A and B are shown apart, each in its own frame.
Chain A
Amino acid sequence: MNPFREPALMIGLTLGAYLWGQQLFLQYRKSWLNPVLVAIILIALVLQIGRAKVEDYLEATRSLVFLLSPTVICLALILYEQTSALKKKALSIVVAVCVGGLVNVVVGVYLSRWLELPEPFVQAMSTKAVTTPIALELSKALGGEASLTVAFVLLSGIMGAVWGLPFLRRIGVKDEMARGLAIGTVSHGIGTARAQQESDLMAAAAALAMALNGLFTAFYLPYLYFWL
């Protein structure tokens, strides 16, 4: 028996590692003790020690990842709770998220070309801020590499979730909604999960920013990319 192919074991390991990460965060309240990050490091170590194939682990945990989609649907609840707060600032929310998302794409593409990164990396850089399923669709449209695209999405998600809020605080952005919008625009679902640890308003702003930036990018990127 290869334990790394057993769904029960691998899902159990994932849940346990995340639970531990969450307890560490609740105990010490340090941003870098993000439960997603803690779980990833722990599981990577286990896979390394057991000389396991990452592919086996990914296959074994598919049914857990399946639950991400219904969770995205559930974000509607947070949006609903904060509708009146969001409605009041609707226009500035849309503009801020779209401009922020556009900056990420344009600067990312130009800089990665300037640093002479290979084309698949440039493409992955352009879709890294949108939620995984949208990034996958865009990657198809741009002729990119699917799994590299996902790697970049998750990388920017984790980085933003871990360092986004401390960075904004240091630079003097204290407004809850502004912080939520920023973390949702840059770090999509992982950022939204992080925002939930702060407040309902921040979580709602993050969820809305994730949806808006995803929608907006999905519509313009296939055209814009070939212009850049």
Chain B
Amino acid sequence: MDILRGLFLIFLFWALGETTSQLARLPIPGAVIGMLALWVALQLKWVSYASVQTTAKGFLGIMGVFFVPPSLGILLHAERMLQYGWKLALLVVFTSALSGLTTALVFKLLNR
């Protein structure tokens, strides 16, 4: 019962987000809009925390597994990427590290 109600609400918000995204021709995916909408709905108590908790915690607990198949898609480009091997590796590592560090430092600086 709990799981079914949770699933219904989650898909309802996904559908809501998807519809908004397509009707307004936004570059933002429906799932992200749905997430923000559900956050607002929880805040305003339109949706109770308990009604989605069981299902949502279940999904969140295995979130990582959904990224596994798409990641194997990297193999399709392996040959091309290896052509620029060290340059690409260096670039991805360097820019990611710089970006993460900037985010953390700006946040700390503003909260001193």
Contacts and interface: CB of A to CB of B under 8 A. Distances in A.
Contacts of B102: 96, 99-100, 103
A178 B60 contact: no
Contact of B43 (A35, A80, A219): A80
B96 A193 contact: no
Interface string A195-228: 0100000000001010100110011001000000
A14 B80 CA distance: 26
B29 A178 contact: no
Given A104-B98, A159-B92, 4 more contacts: A65-B70, A70-B11, A100-B104, A196-B60
Interface of B: 7, 10-11, 13-14, 17, 26-32, 34-39, 42-43, 49, 52-53, 55-57, 59-77, 80-81, 84, 87-88, 91-108, 110-111
12 contacts: A65-B66, A65-B70, A69-B30, A70-B31, A72-B35, A83-B39, A101-B99, A129-B99, A131-B32, A167-B100, A171-B101, A185-B99
A164 B104 CA distance: 11
Nearest to B55: A74
A164 B93 CA distance: 10
A15 interface: yes
A221 B79 CA distance: 28
Given A70-B59, A74-B56, A111-B95, A179 B69 contact: no
Given A71-B63, A154-B70, A117 B84 contact: yes
A204 B97 CA distance: 21
A22 to B, nearest CB: 8
Given A40-B68, A73-B13, A55 B38 contact: no
A95 B106 contact: yes
A104 B52 contact: no
Nearest to B95: A108
A128 B111 CA distance: 28
Given A138-B27, A196-B60, A211 B32 contact: yes
Interface string A144-160: 00011011101111111
A117 to B, nearest CB: 6
Interface of A: 14-15, 17-18, 34-36, 39-40, 43-44, 47, 54-55, 57-58, 61-62, 64-65, 67-80, 83, 89, 91-93, 95-97, 99-101, 103-104, 107-108, 111-112, 115, 117, 121, 125, 128-129, 131-134, 137-138, 141, 147-148, 150-152, 154-160, 163-164, 167-168, 171, 173, 175, 177-179, 181-183, 185-187, 189-190, 192-194, 196, 207, 209, 211, 214-215, 218-219, 222
Nearest to B65: A18
A68 B62 CA distance: 10
Contacts, number: 288
Contact of B92 (A155, A181, A192, A193): A155
Contact of A76 (B36, B75, B98): B36
Contact of A18 (B11, B64, B92): B64
Contact of B104 (A43, A69, A133, A182): A182
B92 A73 contact: no
